[in-house]
Amino acid sequence: MKIDAIFENGRFRTMDTARPTARRIGVLHGRIVGLDGELDGISADRVVDLGGAPVLPGFHDAHYHASLTGARLAALDLRPAAAGSLDALYAAVRRRAGSLAPGEWVRGSGYDQNLIGGHPTAAGLDHAAGGRPVLIEHVSGHMVVANKEAFRLAGYPGGAGVPDVDGGFVARLPDGTAEGLLQEKAISMIYELVRPMPLDEVQRNLRLASDQAVAFGLTSLTEPGLAAWKMVGNSPVDFHSYQLAAETGALLPRMTLMPYITTLHPVEGFRDHDWHGLDLGIRTGFGGDRLKMGPVKIVSDGSFVGRSAAMHQCYHGEPDNKGLMQFDPESLKALIVGAHKAGWTVATHAIGDQAIDHAMDGIEEAQRAAPRRGVRHRIEHFALASDAQI
């Protein structure tokens, strides 16, 4: 018998308590088909000597923003290790702007106001960018800073007239104009200028993220939130983008994809009961080994690092700030229940204790209204939870 490959002289951790280690493994069609003595007398097209190296099973990351990771790898690196102060951030923006054509966007990501002395401002970015529009993403992904040119392109010259956004926050100067910082749902006014992304840009981002993930030992990823391109995701054809990347080899890890809740809708002509889902009744579990449909994603609140996670009590030193709910409690409950009734597993981003309470209320009501055995609804992050919630 001949198989595809034998990897030998390794220290394999099998995760099988009956046989925890091995020195050789054989592979056929991407599957392990034999260990150690089971391979005696078996030949292979390829034999690899691992030189005694340790070998672990591939890791699974249950919350990995692949497309966002790739976009950040392609953007200007503004993490504190690369730009450790506001002056260093502005200098990095100035250098990047100098390499771009007039009118081309300066895109950067990774800054953390807690470590560099504050948020950048539209005025500071204007001074650095030489008239080009600028969009800087916070490390959390829940905030951006835009400059005045970006606000002008969005229809708000000089940052004047930027409206308040329910479920979002616009930082303002004393005269009421936008200072630059946008949080949560307020971000969409700028994302509308740079999204939906072209397909070739998404493919580049997925390739960059894939290469990094495999280098980290990640062989299976869950992408938490696609297709709602004004908030998360890249374009209305995100699932096609991932399918194409898997077909061309740009995307190496196995992928579980979460559509965002706003992509679900009533299915026309379905008469048995209200159906809140995707066309043709596609839902959680659809797909195969390389690419499949996971839970539907809901973002219920903000981030802790941005102090927008929804809390029952105010943040220290900010008596008027208890964070932001992106959906009111009854709307959130209705979304969870509707998706549950249509057969979805629901994954609700909830960081603050107030948001966690509302997410758990929704899950409880879903099971009361339509009991389903074995369903595993989940809360993403569950960070600032009380003992009672745990």
Question: Exposed, middle or buried: residue 155 (CB in 10 Å: 0-12, 13-18, 19+)?
Answer: exposed
Query: Are residues 85 and 112 in contact, defined by beta-carbon separation less than 8 angstroms?
Result: no
Query: Are residues 224 and 190 in contact, defined by beta-carbon separation less than 8 angstroms?
Result: no
Distance, CA of 336 to CA of 326 (rounded, Å):
14
Assigned token pair, 340 = 């549950």
Smallest CA-to-CA distance from 285 within 342, 232, 227 is with: 342
* Angle separating helix axes 329-341 and 353-369, nearest 10 degrees: 40
Residue 144 is predicted with a pLDDT of: 96
Smallest CA-to-CA distance from 21 within 46, 57, 47 is with: 57
Assigned token pair, 167 = 């479920």
Distance, CA of 366 to CA of 148 (rounded, Å):
45
Residue 273 is predicted with a pLDDT of: 61
The one-letter amino acid code at 147 reads: N
Dihedral sign from CA coordinates of 359, 360, 361, 362: positive
**Positions in the chain whose pLDDT score sits under 70:** 271-274
Residue 14 is predicted with a pLDDT of: 94
DSSP 209-255: HHHHHHHTTEEEEEEEEES-TTTSSS-TTHHHHHHHHHHHTS--SEE
Smallest CA-to-CA distance from 309 within 67, 294, 164, 318 is with: 318
Q: C-alpha 48: how far from its chain's center?
A: 36
Distance, CA of 358 to CA of 364 (rounded, Å):
10
Residue 272 is predicted with a pLDDT of: 59
Distance, CA of 223 to CA of 244 (rounded, Å):
16
Query: Are residues 336 and 363 in contact, defined by beta-carbon separation less than 8 angstroms?
Result: yes
Residue 1 is predicted with a pLDDT of: 87
Residue 228 is predicted with a pLDDT of: 77
Q: Mind listing the domains of the chain with CATH numbers? A: 2-58 (2.30.40.10), 66-194 (3.10.310.70), 221-381 (3.20.20.140)
